[in-house]
């Protein structure tokens, strides 16, 4: 059996559909493992992994660390606050120093788009992108697609809607690539000011009418409004955003069919999605979190097999 076509996980853009299916198939096995009473397997006991988080994260960091520990890898954690980064050390120097301590794999989150691609060209180690600025967040897209397939089966010819801050969201871009590689049609929806100008070049449809767009989809991924990445105001007020693009129970019930509701977290309850919807049986938000560990175990297992 063939392994992945890549040696690093920098973005979904670089994967093919065989890679995606191999990751999903391996994740099935790990999902069974993490539902055992004893959730640990010894596969990566001779692998050391560094988690470098140059930006805040709760879910992703925790999920990666749990995945690593369940694979029996040795883990070191680094966050930029309180490190030598504030003394002016460059990214390559920081990472090379860490790799000199015999680290086999680097999981990195960084606020600059393209940071992990840049790093992969300059250092000799296996790199997993855990989110680079507004660019890609491949493991999130993989767990989103995996959770959705688990719920509705093959995504071939399914219509998937991504709503919200498409411009600042790395989840959106990775999601678009992943769904398209699995044969789905992707539509994005949100205020015009938050939709990138040339998004059609990715073969994505744009629909700014939220309710109309919902009528034509099988699943919707509600993105978070990323206030921390906005240097200016992209919409008049949160209240207006909620009125136009917030998902509530009334809208959901008015649709002809039961669509699946996803959210990458953290949720702004009452903004992009109401509590009632987030906690309803149509939402698979907590399944996404559970599957996140299995997906990350699968990726690290498959990439570790390629380590020299």
Partner 1 sequence: MKPKKILGSNEISTILNRLSFQLIEDHNSFENIVLVGIQPRGSLLAKRLTLLINNHLKSNDLKVGYLDITFFRDDFRRSEKILKANSTSLDFLIENKTVVLVDDVLFTGRSIRAALNAIQSFGRPLNIKLLTLIDRRFSRELPIQPDYCGTQVDSRLNEKVIVNWKENNDEDSVYLIKNN
- State in angstroms the smallest separation of the CB of 154 from partner 1: 20
Binding mask 7-26 for partner 1 (x = CB under 8 A): -------------------x
Q: Is the previous residue joined to 178 through a cis bond, with omega within 30 degrees of 0?
A: no
CB of 131 to partner 1, least distance (A): 26
By DSSP bridging, strand 126-132 and strand 159-163 are unpaired
30 vs 245 by CB, closer to partner 1: 30
Q: In this chain, which of 5, 16, 21, 32 binds partner 1, going by CB under 8 A? A: 32
- 6, 7, 13, 41: which one contacts partner 1 (CB under 8 A)? 41
Q: State which of positions 208-227 bind partner 1 (CB under 8 A).
A: none
Among 37, 121, 197, 257, binds partner 1 (CB under 8 A): 37
Min dist CB 42 to partner 1, Å, is 6
Which residue from 1, 58, 233, 266 is in contact with partner 1, where contact means CB under 8 A?
A: 1
Please, which residue, 44 or 163, has the CB nearer to partner 1?
44
46 binds partner 1 (CB under 8 A): yes
Q: How far is the CB of 24 from partner 1 (least distance, A)?
A: 12
Each residue of 48-61: b (16+ CB within 10 Å) or e?
bbbbbbbbebeebb
192 belongs to the binding site for partner 1 (CB under 8 A):
no
CB under 8 A: which stretch of 39-47, 131-139, 155-163, 177-185 binds partner 1? 39-47
29 binds partner 1 (CB under 8 A): yes
- Give me the DSSP letters along the chain: ----S-SSB--GGG--HHHHHHHHHHHHHHHHHHTSSS----TTTT-EEEEEESS--SHHHHHHHHHHHHTT-EEEEEESTTSGGGGT--HHHHHHHHHHTT--EEEEEESSTTHHHHHHHHS-SEEEEEEETTS--HHHHHHHHHHHHHHH---TT-EEEEES-TTT-HHHHHHHHHHHHTT-EEEEES-GGGS-TTGGGGT-EE---HHHHHHT-SEEEEPPP-GGG-SS-SSS-HHHHHHHH-B-HHHHHHSSS--EEE--S---BTTTB-HHHHTSTTB-HHHHHHHHHHHHHHHHHHHHTT--
Min dist. Cβ of residue 15 to partner 1 (A): 16
Q: Contact with partner 1 (CB under 8 A): which of 2, 124, 256, 281?
A: 2
Q: Min. distance of Cβ 293 from partner 1 in angstroms?
A: 14
Show contacts with partner 1 in window 245-304 (CB under 8 A).
Answer: 301-302, 304
Residues that bind partner 1 (CB under 8 A): 1-3, 26, 28-29, 32-33, 36-43, 46, 301-302, 304-305, 307
């Amino acid at each position: 059996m063939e392994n992945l076509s890549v040696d690093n996980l920098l973005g979904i853009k670089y994967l093919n559909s065989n890679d995606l299916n191999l990751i999903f198939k391996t994740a099935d096995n790990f999902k069974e493992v993490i539902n055992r009473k004893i959730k640990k397997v010894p596969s990566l006991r001779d692998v050391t992994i560094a988690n470098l988080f140059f930006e805040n994260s709760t879910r992703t960091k925790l999920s990666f660390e749990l995945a690593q520990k369940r694979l029996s890898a040795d883990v070191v954690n680094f966050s930029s606050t309180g490190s030598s980064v504030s003394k002016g050390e460059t990214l390559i120097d920081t990472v090379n120093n860490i790799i000199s301590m015999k680290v086999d794999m680097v999981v990195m989150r960084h606020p600059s788009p393209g940071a992990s691609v840049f790093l992969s060209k300059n250092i000799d180690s296996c790199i997993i992108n855990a989110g680079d600025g507004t660019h890609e967040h491949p493991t999130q897209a993989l767990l989103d697609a995996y959770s959705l397939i688990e719920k509705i089966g093959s995504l071939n010819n399914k219509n998937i809607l991504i709503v919200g801050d498409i411009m600042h969201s790395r989840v959106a871009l990775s999601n678009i690539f992943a769904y398209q590689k699995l044969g789905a049609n992707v539509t994005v929806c949100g205020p015009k000011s938050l939709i990138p100008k040339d998004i059609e070049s990715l073969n994505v449809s744009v629909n700014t009418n939220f309710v109309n767009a919902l009528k034509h989809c099988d699943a919707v991924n509600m993105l978070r409004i990323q206030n921390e990445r906005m240097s200016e105001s992209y919409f008049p007020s949160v209240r207006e955003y909620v009125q136009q693009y917030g998902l509530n129970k009334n809208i959901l019930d008015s649709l002809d069919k039961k669509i699946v509701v996803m959210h990458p977290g953290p949720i702004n309850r009452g903004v992009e999605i109401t509590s009632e919807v987030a906690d309803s049986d149509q939402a698979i938000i907590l399944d996404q979190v559970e599957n996140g560990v299995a997906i990350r175990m699968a990726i690290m297992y498959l990439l570790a097999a390629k380590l020299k």
